[in-house]
Structure 1
């Protein structure tokens, strides 16, 4: 598995996001505990009275989260074993101003990852078993580019908590966060949607317009071959 901890700063941010997720759950009245013999460090048991759920806490420093596929036929590592995904993410990869915590029903998350896997497979992408499939939290779901199929969980599930990073830092945390997450800084220099998707002209125009701060109609692309 890829080591996504990276630099000491990235590791501290990752642990801070994880701690922010736990603190958010506790403030919402959930008791948070490790799962005995649960294996993955991201797994937690949350309880409130007689209500109990298994959750997987995912952190992201680029607003995309991942789960690895079990096999070509079906199934997701960790995701199949939980009731909720708790996603703790910054709002922007390059200029994060907020940290947000979302609680996403695992049934919906599984359906989205299934759609994403099927769409990318149909598009001819190479999808090695055990490697994470990434979904964007804050891009709207779309069929084009294909990497946006299944996206938008952070839009559809309002954050339980938002931390203003321009005023407050992430809490300090020393929780172990296992590398199986594959969610942080997936490709240090290349965003996931650029790695996994075939780049279309409309998508290239959208990204250039966003980068340059101009309307898409101002972008013209000429291909000479």
Structure 2
């Protein structure tokens, strides 16, 4: 699915008139330069099956890895978590996404959340922004900037595109921490993660 979503993003950009190319020396497989006429942007392509995207803080907690290096974020999200049919492709301004991630990060720290450096901070594309629950601070970029393309996932699966993922995305798939499991359950059931109790039996 991740490869299909990544391919859908590349295809949608090209159909929208953008020339898509790797950024030499970036070292990040999700980063591309997109060019259309005189308009040129460095973007990070993020894929998501739970309709949230993530970026991690760098060592020293001074900035965001990848997010602070791009002009925009291309988010490729399933249209429905339970029965995905299409990939929604969004082009999100980099400055606004940095502001959204900064606000949600500070709000979570203020609420007492522990966020390990290097672990992705997840932010919902489609939840309405609110201060309660705290992880909805900064949410909703996908609502403000509707998809410029919707790509059927059966077609996307046939698109030839390299689907490597950056370090921060692969870390997000290395199993769940208790905090991340609570976050995802909170999104699913519409409750604050702090109200969820998880019991693990060996």
Quickly name the TM-score band, shorter chain normalised: 0.7 to 0.9
Indicate yes or no: 2:91 matched with 1:103: yes
Matches within 5 A, 1:1-225: 13-71=1-59, 73-165=61-153, 168-172=154-158, 173-182=160-169, 195-196=182-183, 203-204=190-191
Per the TM alignment, residue 42 of structure 1 is displaced from its structure 2 partner at its CA by 0.1
Other-structure match for 2:200: none
RMSD over aligned Cα atoms: 2.8
For 1:7, the equivalent position in structure 2 comes to none
Shift of residue 203, structure 1, vs aligned partner: 4.2
Q: Which moved more, 1:93-102 or 1:20-29?
A: 93-102
- List alignment gaps of at least 5 residues for structure 1: 1-12, 206-225
Deviations 1:84-113 (A, max 9, x none): 000001022222233100000000000000
Distance 2:34 2:104 in 1: 28
Give the Cα–Cα distance (whole angstroms) in 1 for the partners of residues 182 and 165 of structure 2.
Answer: 23
Match of 1:6 in 2: none
State how far apart, in whole Å, the 2-side matches of 1:176 and 1:51 are: 25
Measured after TM superposition, the shift of residue 138 of structure 1 is: 1.0
How far, CA to CA, are the matches of 1:102 and 1:184 in structure 2?
A: 23
Query: Residues of 1 paired with 2:178 and 2:126: CA distance?
Result: 14
Give the whole-Å Cα distance in 2 for the aligned partners of 1:175 and 1:105: 24
Q: Matched residue pairs, number?
A: 189
Q: Work out whether residues 145 and 197 of structure 1, in 8 Å CA contact, stay in contact via their aligned partners in 2.
A: no
Larger Rg: 1
| TM-score (norm. length: structure 1) | 0.74
Q: Is the 8 A contact 1:60 1:184 kept in 2?
A: no
CA contact (8 A) 1:134 1:183 kept: no
| Residues 194/156 of structure 1: CA separation in 2 closer, same or farther (3 Å cut) | farther
C-alpha contact (below 8 Å) 1:66/1:134 kept by paired residues: yes
Deviation of 1:74 (Å): 3.2
